[in-house]
Amino acid sequence: MTASPALPLPPGSTLGILGGGQLGRMLAQAASRLGFDVVILDPEENSPAGRVAARQIVGAYDDRWALKRLAEACHVVTYEFENVPAETVAELTALGCEVAPGAAALAAAQDRVVEKTFLAEIGVPTVAFAPVDDEESLLAAVAKIGAPSLLKTRREGYDGKGQAWIQRPGDAIAAFEKIGRQPAILEAPADFGRELSVIAARGRNGEIVCYPLSDNHHEGGVLRRTIAPAKATPSERDQAEAIAAKILTALDYVGVIGVELFELAGGKLLVNEFAPRVHNTGHWTQDGCEVDQFEQHIRAVAGWPLGPTAALARVEMTNLLGPEVDAWKKLAAEPETRIHLYGKGEARAGRKMGHVNRLRPLEG
């Protein structure tokens, strides 16, 4: 199936997903509802996504033999996380397999300096930033940005990992040591009142749709709950949708994207970062919208029309971390609570084991 696919893909076609975690699992479930077969590529046997897919190929993301099998099996390939090696996309493309979203989105999202530079170039507001490669550039960045400021690894790092605050200029070297002296970015702090996000999608014909804003609450760098639709002004909604549209268009993007935002005093929004995939802050759409973010992503990569994004209910999404998942029986007894479990084994502390969506009527 390495020839360019005829779009839109008809039911019965096969989609590939790089990654076998919870996002891949929920993408596979959405694809199945639309009549597609799914093949998962993941290094771990018996992955959460692999168990609900038609098939799983067990192999590393840079395993050329595994990628060849994936390309031969699928009409289109997508991914559930943004740290897929760039070489993987290049290899699949060389094999004649289409990957969506494309390589440009991955390249921008995998490196925080590239990401912030890209956002600045397209006129999207962010905090001030400077690249850090060594002690000399770190001290120059601190002199430019000031303190307090946040030092982050350029690549990888999520849920608060790979970060260190520099409260005073004298803390800079210790912070650099804390993140392993890796290439980094230094960011000015944002004096924000709350963290918002917008989930948006772009189809193959350039159509763009946005879900209502969500209000997100973190603990220890990990998302704990999301409330949506967020209470927001028309100006904030307009800003968020314009930001998402700029990013999607500039990247010639196909699929769902999550854009994290800081709300400043006066309602101005800054972009924290974006993820070229379905997003934790969009899980509320599974029970709060007619077409959720997972089905929307499948529709986009398959070349189908995008679905409606209006909220049908007010939803509070709460992540179930570690042993919190053991309360499933109690949660199942709560009226208007919907449980989504990821099929993971060990309930380690802080590990995302599932989430619940609690539904309430939309406010007038």
The SS3 assignment for 140 reads helix
| End-to-end Cα separation, the chain, in angstroms | 50
Residues 6+ apart with CB under 8 A from 180: 153
pLDDT for the residue 3: 57
Residues 6+ apart with CB under 8 A from 136: none
Mean pLDDT, each 10-residue run in order, the chain (364 residues)? 78 98 98 98 97 98 97 97 90 95 93 97 97 96 96 78 92 95 96 97 98 96 96 98 98 98 97 97 98 98 98 98 97 97 95 98 80
**Amino acid letter, residue 81:** F
In this prediction the pTM is 0.95
Cβ proximity of 156 and 171 under 8 Å: no
pLDDT for the residue 5: 72
14-18 and 76-79 as β-strands: parallel, antiparallel, unpaired? parallel
Distance CA 212, CA 244 (A): 12
Cβ proximity of 51 and 343 under 8 Å: yes
255-264 and 214-219 as β-strands: parallel, antiparallel, unpaired? unpaired
Residues 6+ apart with CB under 8 A from 78: 15, 16, 17, 18, 27, 99, 100, 101, 255, 297, 301
